[in-house]
Amino acid sequence: MTARPSLLLTGIRAAIIDLDGTMVDTAPDFHVAINRMRADLGLGALEIDTIKDFVGKGTENLMRRVLAVDYPPEQVEQHFPAALISYQRHYHAINGEYSTVYPGVRAGLQVLQEKKLRLACVTNKPIAFATPLLEKTGLLPFFEIVYGGDSLPKKKPDPAPLLQVCADFDLQPAQVVAIGDSSNDAQAARAAGCRVLNVPYGYNHGQPIQDVDSDGIVATLLDAAHLISA
């Protein structure tokens, strides 16, 4: 479903916003850190478009997908620990250096604040990477709550992180909208009972965002903000 200018999501009191592929284009950071890790393991470099298709289900899944380019499943698990340590070292060193904030994000967050919506960032990125990235990009002050993929026992597409935010804000899920770039966000929101909007420019595991069940596809976070009404 594609959002139209006349569509309004009413009764919304809070927004839960994804990070990678929704607010920040972090694929260049992934590209650099992954290929440095692969060099450590004696593997060749991957193209950035290949890596984009692997993003979205957390660091552990990302590492296994990257290793599966070269190894069968049993060898993926054999090399996984060393790959994860190497990747985390390289990613920590460059976190945010090659990333850019998408157009409309800052303006969208400002409009949401002006509408008195409470804001949370829920990402599958480890919290040790998510918070510094939000700080480096200047987006951290917009958010009351930030949950990473390792902040809670379960991560998206499980609804638990979204339900935790609803509880934190003392709101019913129907009063909360999730905004993200992938099926992870939509599935988590649907299961939690939240509304959901998707942006079309992120990393939906290589699948068309038009195939995702959401309340609308919006060109930018600013467009999303204009569709949300308390």
Give the residue extent of every domain in the chain.
14-26+101-227, 27-94
User: Topology of 27-94 in CATH?
Assistant: DNA polymerase; domain 1 (1.10.150)
Asked, as a colleague might, if the bond just before 157 is cis with ω within 30 of 0, I would say yes
2 close to 217: Cβ distance less than 8 angstroms = yes
- CA distance linking residue 141 with residue 113, whole number of Å: 11
Q: What pLDDT shows up at residue 58?
A: 82
Q: What pLDDT shows up at residue 207?
A: 87
Q: Report the predicted TM-score, pTM, of the whole model to 2 decimal places.
A: 0.92
40 is catalytic: no
Q: What pLDDT shows up at residue 48?
A: 96
Domain 14-26+101-227 has CATH 3.30.1360.230: no
CA 81 to chain centre: 24
Q: What pLDDT shows up at residue 2?
A: 43
Query: Looking at 3-155, which runs of residues are DSSP E strands?
Result: 14-17, 24-25, 100-101, 118-122, 145-147
Q: Which parts of the chain register pLDDT below 70? A: 1-7, 230
Q: What pLDDT shows up at residue 70?
A: 97
Instruction: Measure the CA angle with vertex 61, ends 59 and 87; round to 5°.
Output: 40
Catalytic residue among 18, 25, 29, 181: 18
